[in-house]
Structure 1
Amino acid sequence: MSRADHLDVAAYALGVLDQQDTERFEEHLATCWACAAELETMVPVVGLLSGIDGETMTALEQTHTDPALLDRTLMAVRLDRRRARFRQLLATAAAVVVFGGVSGVGIAGIAGIGDERVPYAEPTLTTPVTAPPSDVPADPNDPNIGGNEQEGEQHDATDPTTGVKTTMWLTSKEYGTRIDLQLAKLPGPRTCRLVVIRKNSTTEVISTWAVPGGGYGTNSNQLPLELTASTSAGRDDIEKIQVQSIDAKGVASPLVTVADL
């Protein structure tokens, strides 16, 4: 059997032989263990070589007499494999587009890679969903803005002398009472404390804090101060709750009082 017959292995694997050559090669294959073994090893790469046409295979058969033709043939095979990788990349990009239909990602441009151009995915703008307009202006100090409703019994107070404003929420707990509060119009710098005054006239300091120079809920700092504290006193035992300012000598003076308890 001639060398050309052995080179028919690749052409046979790709299915580019005509009927006569196919029958001739199959007769040869039945008696040539070398071609049979070579054909078996080529099965995994048939998919990569399937894009090579018959002319390329003919040129491959001639490379044993023309070394320059071998180089050109190998270059053609490399180019075909590169194109196969590009096709695989295109398939991946298409899958990204399908997934992006749900997540808001779409094809927005073309990126150049060598001589090939491959689509790339970019995020697309979507129309934001907004709530219906309200005729009532929102209070930026309201903790319920944003859908997080504050737990507890609400009490509001504004001191006519100091101008300090507060909103407190009282929640009965097994351990006593939890107090959540906001403070605004509170100038600084100063030191403050939160005092619970019981119905039996006893008092309890349940929190202390420092107010910076800009204060809270002021022109310098529009954000209110938010605190949470607890007392062992039950809800029904509390007469009033007071925010006090402490001077350098430790003397306390009221800033705002919630007394409607």
Structure 2
Amino acid sequence: MRSLERHRDVAAYALGVLDEADAFRFEDHLMECPRCAAHVTEFGPAARQLMLYRRSTPRAVHPMAKPGPQLLNRLLTEVAARHRARRRRLLYGLAASVVFAVAGPGVVMLAGGGDEPVRIEATDARSGVWAQVTTESEPWGSQVELKVKDGAGPRVCHLIAVGRDGSEQTITSWTVSRHDARENTMMGAAAMHPDQIARYELRAADGEHLVTLKSQL
């Protein structure tokens, strides 16, 4: 296989259609050609979708049969998910770059406008518990990340979202280890949208109030 032919065989190698001898020679070429190595990586998503199509297609179906709309839907769904993930990382970066103090000691909010994530943190002077809540609006409600430091364990705790109408929803629960004041991170969700939430409360399972984080929306 000449050098030019090796460059042209990137797609065939990535899709697994080269015979064993040509694949072996192409792998030797990859060791010396960063451009081809990069192209092989670019073919990864296409190769994965073809593999999924092959696995989901009955043996009785002719190999040259045209893929149906479900394959297109899965491709579009995966592309949309990647775009959302990229946008989410960007929004977190923007939110982290805007910091300002709000009323109340020991409270800081990182926020932006629109659908950007909103971050609130607070420390309760009585319990000594520190918490930080980052909320992101979703079509179905709110995605919530909680970070907490609580050295008064062992105990079971809950993060509660209190709506502006007085309703309550448990976002997440966790167990605090004995005398462990390290930062813990939990993920949770609420059916309420961020602008429908008046405050977040951390409570122990026995009802003890630990800290309140007031929404700034």
TM-score (norm 2): 0.45
Highest Rg: 1 or 2? 1
RCO higher in structure (CA 8 A, sep ≥6): 2
TM-score of the pair, normalised by structure 1: 0.38
